Amino acid sequence: MTQSQKSVQQALPEGTVVRVGPDGLEALVALLKQVGYTTIGPTVKDDAVVYQEINTTKDFPIGWADDQDGGTYRLVQGTKGAFFDYLVGPTSPKRYFFPPQNKLWGASKEQGHFEVEKPAEEAPSYAFIGVRSCELRAIIVQDRVFGFAREDQHDKGIFSDPYYVERRKKSLIIAVNCRRAGKTCFCVSMGGDPHVRHGEGFDLALTEIMEGSQHHFLIEVGSERGGLILALLPFEAAKDQDLVARKTQAEKARGQMGRTMVADVNPLLKNNLTHSRWEDVASRCLSCANCTMVCPTCFCSNVEERTDLTGDHTERWRTWDSCFSIDYSYIHGGPIRKETKSRYRQWMTHKLSSWWDQFGLSGCVGCGRCITWCPVGIDITQEAAAIKKSEECQT
């Protein structure tokens, strides 16, 4: 097929499922790069699977899986040749839409006056490959925080962050269904699923199927843009047995959830803001902020002034911040949340309870990162369960 013939090809309709081999996935990565995307995907770095720019499927964590539990993460040998046997690592697509630090604007001074220079940098077009279902839902959560597609709501006091919105608008998301769930996974009890659902914002969704010597991928179309891209690739129609295998895989992963969040955690925490459990968890919590750094929905930031040595040029930078830092709540006279128990309570009640009031959904997607990466293995599901249990004892 010639280039011109390809360009007139129609988009595959949403919901179409096709089948490709590993070489088909390679062709997809090459195509994405060819049409100008910066391809971001999973790769092994520093003994963990992280998101990073990738150039080929060979960069994927091929054959690697991970063993995660409270306070522990280890890469282990997974299914030989599998691309997506690992689960979520410490990073998420968040760091590309809302980077750990980004310049808001700069300014130069002249005789008591200054001129603001807006950043001229053009937003990159990212294509993410390997985004998990929980990460998709985390993106939906941050879309609400940063006002993506909510420009119409400005008069209600909702603002949009142009930095986030530009990157988000231009990005393409290729999700991957989880083949298994880990010991710290609890997406199902947070209303999610290890397999992606339509309406969750993916352009294409992959399912990796390995049976005997067979290794192939199902690709499902989730958007018009995804359908256009897929139409440019060679593929076969999905077979009935593929769809059965995909369904079996989803059921298996659903049954493997290592953790469960108690039901009705939002009102539970609202009713227990002065519970003794906060003291208990504070005796273990190091207030290190790891949970907030790995969380795919945490959005708190600081704004820093960075001035050069002449004092004539300055830049305003937004950096990730954490409600676990004592400075976070500082106003003249001292910090508001002096105690670790107050800071842990802020984090957990925000995530599971007040997020509903603020944004109409849960701030937790059940990815389990905060459990895995907590150096002392504090488990948000156990903390919630402990409060629930004490309530049941009282009644």
Partner 1 sequence: MTKQSSCKGNCRCYTAETGPMVPRPFKVVEIWKELADTFSMRLEPLDGCPAFFAPGQFNMLYVFGVGEVPISVSGDAAQSGEILHTTRIVGNVTKAMSAFKPGMTVGLRGPFGTRWPLDVADGKDLVFVAGGIGLAPLRPAIYQAFADRHRYGNIVILVGARTPEDMLYAKELARWKSRFDLDVQVTVDHATGNWQGRVGFVTKLIASGGFDPKNTVAYTCGPEIMMRTTIKALNDRGVTNDHIYVSMERSMKCAVGFCGHCQWGPEFICRDGPVYRFDQIAKSFNIEEL
Cα(201)–Cα(82) distance, integer angstroms? 25
- Report the distance separating Cα 262 and Cα 385, nearest Å: 6
Q: Which stretch binds partner 1 (CB under 8 A): 1-9, 87-95, 226-234, 349-357?
A: 349-357
Helices 162-170 & 133-145 angle (0-180, nearest 10): 140
In the set 38, 79, 160, 382, which binds partner 1 (CB under 8 A)? 160
161 binds partner 1 (CB under 8 A): yes
Contact of 75 with 66, CB cutoff 8 Å:
yes
Among 83, 163, 202, 217, binds partner 1 (CB under 8 A): 163
Q: Are residues 54 and 44 in contact, defined by beta-carbon separation less than 8 angstroms?
A: no
Q: How near is the Cβ of 394 to partner 1 at its closest, in Å?
A: 19
What is the spatial distance between Cα 31 and Cα 52, in angstroms, rounded to a whole number?
Answer: 18
122 binds partner 1 (CB under 8 A): no
Q: Which is nearer to partner 1, 212 or 360 (CB)?
A: 360
Query: In terms of CB distance, is 223 or 354 closer to partner 1?
Result: 354
How far is the C-alpha of 79 from the C-alpha of 81, rounded, in Å? 6
The length of the chain, given as a count of residues: 395
- Of residues 86 and 324, the one with the C-beta less far from partner 1: 324
Measured between alpha carbons, how far is 147 from 154 in angstroms, rounded to an integer? 9
Coil, helix or strand at residue 51: strand
Rule CB under 8 A: say whether 102 interacts with partner 1: no
Verify binding: residue 35, partner 1, rule CB under 8 A.
no
Residue closer to partner 1 (CB basis): 109 or 225: 109
- Cβ distance 219 to 17 under 8 Å? yes
- Tell me how far apart the alpha carbons of residues 277 and 342 are, in angstroms, rounded to a whole number: 11
The interface mask with partner 1, positions 130-149, x = CB under 8 A, is: ---------------xx---
336 binds partner 1 (CB under 8 A): yes
Considering only residues 255 through 274, tell me which ones interact with partner 1, judged by CB under 8 A.
273-274
Name the minimum Å distance from CB 340 to partner 1.
10
* Nearest distance from C-beta of residue 370 to partner 1, angstroms: 16
The Cα-based distances of 179 to 57, 209, 244, 294, 325 in angstroms read: 18, 8, 14, 22, 37
Smallest gap from Cβ 371 to partner 1, in A, equals 22
Name the residue nearer to partner 1 (CB basis): 112 or 212.
112
| C-beta of 13 vs 157, nearer to partner 1 | 157
3 state SS of 140: helix
Residues 229, 204: contact at Cβ < 8 Å? Answer: yes
Give the nearer residue to partner 1 in terms of CB position, either 186 or 278.
Answer: 278
For the bound state, the minimum distance from the C-beta of residue 314 to partner 1, rounded and expressed in Å, comes to 5
Does 158 help bind partner 1 (rule: CB under 8 A)?
yes
Distance separating alpha carbons of residues 237 and 46, to the nearest angstrom: 39
Cβ proximity to partner 1, 73 vs 299, nearer residue: 299
Interface map 50-89 toward partner 1 (x if CB under 8 A): ----------------------------------------
Residue 380 backbone phi and psi in degrees, to 5? -55, -35
Asked if 7 touches partner 1 (CB under 8 A), the answer is no
Choose, by CB under 8 A, the member of 38, 79, 302, 382 that binds partner 1.
302
DSSP per-residue string spanning 73-113? EEEEE-STT-SS-S---S--THHHHS-SEEEEEEEEEETTE
Tokens matching residue 161: 């962050």
If one asks whether residue 334 binds partner 1 (CB under 8 A), the answer comes out as no
Residues that bind partner 1 (CB under 8 A): 104-105, 107, 109, 112-114, 116, 118, 145-146, 151, 154-163, 273-274, 299-303, 305, 307, 311, 314, 316, 318, 321, 323, 328-333, 336-339, 342, 346, 349-350, 353-354, 357-358
